[in-house]
Amino acid sequence: MIKRWFLGASLVLGLVAAGCSGDSSSSSGTAGTGGGGGTGGSGFEPPEYGAWVKYEPEGATCSDGSPYAFYVDFSETSDNVIVFFMGGGGCWDYESCVGGGARGAANPNGLPDDYANSHAEVAGLTINVNQVYPLMNDDPAVSPMADWNKVFVPYCTGDVYAGSITNTYEDPDGVEPDAVFAHQGHTNVLKMTEMLNEMFTVVPKMFVGGCSAGGAGAIVNYYFLRTGIEGVQKGYLLDDSGPLFPSRELTSRSFLLHEEVRDVWDAASLVGKAPQPELLANDFGALSQVLAEEFPEDRLAATMFQLDYNFSLYSYERFWTRENMEELNPIVPFMGEGLGLDEDVSLDRAAIHQLWWDDIALLRSQYDAEGRDNLGYYLPFYRTTNSSHCVTIPGLEEFSLGEALNLFQNDFATLAWAGTEIGEDMNLRDYVEHLLNDDEPLESFFEEEPEGRYRACTPAEFDAVACEAAVNPPAP
């Protein structure tokens, strides 16, 4: 059964917001009871099937100290498991974690109740995660994992699920009281993994994915899920729009971000437990190749839009600036307070795209290296939806509101993957199906043909006048 809700006029804004920051009911459960059905004969009996069951690992907390929870939708027909990490930004100082800046992190005040079913509210109507993240949808036309056991991992720690530390942030103006912020995302994942290991003792296939902060969370925790759920026989990874770019190359543009968050989130604790810790301590962007070597039979992939204008802003706007305000280049490290690049300034947008493309080139080189046959990527160019951010959310803004509403009700498969196409024959759903197909070599796809209104802001077709017209269109 396809889990759907009729949506009102706020469909686009509501779902897009939920993507970054069913009719099933939910219940609460505990691990370690009963026996059978879709859980590999583990002796664990799901409280119910085809509904989201809420679990609160003991001691797991959100950033404000409130209890953390994850959700499982158990299958009666499959022992395979999909684990999907919610997106929602990141933070590393008072301004971003507490100050309410333009780019903070989701759920700083804890998780809403029944979050898998009530994941977003639009015009008084409730939308669940099966629509926000179509790879968890129950319709085979939407997801190739429609009948799998599904694990939804909410986000409320501001650390892309990499943290194991609680910080106290001080107001730089000395006006507001200190704020205690628990960056315990990785700790929570470890506690969740212990419970999943009790639930699923035989797992022929495990898919780990997520978008934005969730994409980063998927790759940084892949090793721990892969080894912590002991019954997993084969693993698959899709990091959507939360890339860990190589950070020690001469053209690396993400090293300043990596250096900023390393200590703030206590990433060293995670790195110390991972394979090849010395390499990762020097370059956390080497994680893809480390995982490929650690699990040579697994299939690991990344996806993002080449014109992403969300994660790219997190990565560069506070760390880079243009040296000459009248020219695009040179782009240099920013040592001041606030933002070095302004998303609404056309030359700054062009700088963001240039930095992103430099990092994408490094990722492609890393994945394409000889001997890394189990690494792949899927890189479409652009879509209007959500500033070309997150390939695994529906393409709501590719249509008029009326068309989107009609597709949502009658052809969700088309809506789910609109704008993710490369060429005429493949979209993101097709690539995931390819990723899961062990009978064919893992391939990579890179869209060569530029498209969209911001082409003039890209390194390949830069035109200052046309870029300004795209970013700040003249009034009619």
For residues 396-409, one letter each, b for 16 or more C-beta atoms within 10 angstroms of the residue's C-beta and e for the rest, the string is: bbbbeeeebbebbe
Q: Sorting pLDDT into bands at 50, 70 and 90, what band is 21?
A: very low
First vs last Cα of the chain: how many Å apart? 47
| Whole-number pLDDT of residue 338 | 87
**Whole-number pLDDT of residue 118:** 83
Q: Determine the average pLDDT of the residues in 72-94.
A: 96
Residue-level pLDDT at 147: 98
Mean pLDDT of the chain: 90
Contact 106, 61 (CB under 8 A): no
Please state the rounded mean pLDDT for residues 348-362: 98
Is the model's pLDDT at 82 over the cut of 70? yes
Mean pLDDT of 249-275: 95
**pLDDT(35) > 60:** no
What token pair was written down for 407? 């597709």
Domain ranges of the chain: 11-57+71-86+99-156+189-471
8 Å CB contact between 231 and 203: yes
Q: Is the dihedral of CA 65, 210, 189, 31 positive or negative?
A: positive
Per-residue pLDDT at 12: 41
Is residue 20's pLDDT more than 50?
no
Dist. CA 199–CA 228, nearest whole Å: 12
Reported as a pLDDT band with limits 50, 70 and 90, residue 104 is: confident
The length of the chain is 476
Structure tokens at 293: 């070597």
Residue 74 DSSP SS3: coil
Contact 349, 372 (CB under 8 A): no
Q: Residues 453-467: pLDDT tens digits?
A: 999 999 999 999 999
DSSP per position, 83-101: EEE---B---SHHHHTS--
Mean pLDDT is lowest, of 8-17, 272-281, 384-393, for: 8-17
What are the structure tokens assigned to 28, written together?
């609460």
In tens, the pLDDT along 192-216 reads: 999 999 999 999 999 999 999 999 9
Nearest by Cα to 113 from 66, 169, 79: 66
